[in-house]
Amino acid sequence: MIEAFLGRVEPFTRLNAVERRRLAQVAKERSYGKGQTIFRAGQSSDAVWIVKTGRVHLMKFLADGKASTTCVMAPGETFCCLPALDRKTYPTDAIAAQDSVVVRIPSDAFHQAMEHSPVFTQQTLCLFCDRLRQVEHKSCMVYDSAETRLAQVLLALSKKFGLTIPLTRQELAEVAGTTHETAIRTLSRFGKQGLIRSSRGNTTILKPDKLSSLLTTCE
């Protein structure tokens, strides 16, 4: 089951059948209930993780108690590869945002796969670079208005989930780096403009082109 799953997930699709089977033999599935912690920031990294079902949020908890979501990981996405690569600590907490099943691949096995397959290594590095660009772009968003940030977050999440995004308003606020109250007001305004439709725990983008027009360039 894990071997077949890896065959559908980047960067593991780039491995040959023998290498993929070797990883599958040491990989383990783990189940987490909503709100459970998979790992914490500062903990020694010892694995690469993949979301099989559910949703995982990579989060930073600030001194004032506020939470900031750096990444939302959907089914089929690999996360925290970079700490496994440099063998340093995890930079964030990983929290199951809903009941989730994740696949854990030990770092040593991941490194062996990279040593045996240059194509796999190249795709892994491309994946890392893409994630770093996302983090860099989010750092630019801090200078944008709440309206722009929420529009950007909705459009980015639609690439993972489609036009109906299964996050609560509180979760959207944490991703956008704004308060819950500001998110409620802004999303309500989007709804009145006919850009989105909100229901309990979901937001559907109705006019992605018009939502895109709200974005500003991060200089």
Q: What is the CATH number of the domain that holds 103?
A: 2.60.120.10
Q: pTM for this one?
A: 0.88
Percentage of the chain beyond pLDDT 90 is: 73
Q: What is the pLDDT of residue 66?
A: 81
Count CB neighbours of 29 within 10 A: 14
Q: Are residues 202 and 95 in the same domain?
A: no
CA 56/CA 102 separation, integer angstroms? 9
Q: Are residues 146 and 98 in the same domain?
A: no
Interval 54-103: pLDDT, tens: 999 999 887 777 888 989 999 999 998 778 788 889 989 999 999 999 99
Question: Encoding tokens for residue 47?
Answer: 């694995």
Domain end position, chosen among 136, 163, 179: 136
Q: Are residues 13 and 85 in the same domain?
A: yes
Name, in order, each residue with C-beta under 8 angstroms of 143's C-beta and a sequence gap of 6 or more: 218
Q: Are residues 27 and 123 in the same domain?
A: yes
Q: Does 116 map to a domain?
A: yes
Q: Are residues 12 and 63 in the same domain?
A: yes
Average pLDDT in the chain: 90
If you count them, how many residues does the chain have?
219
**Structural domain for 180, as ranges:** 142-212
Q: Does 114 map to a domain?
A: yes
Q: What is the pLDDT of residue 139?
A: 60
Q: How far is CA 106 from CA 17, 22, 47, 103, 111, in A?
A: 18, 12, 4, 10, 9
Domain end position, chosen among 108, 136, 164: 136
CB 36 within 8 A of CB 94: no
Interval 173-215: pLDDT, tens: 999 989 999 999 999 999 999 999 998 899 999 999 999 988 7
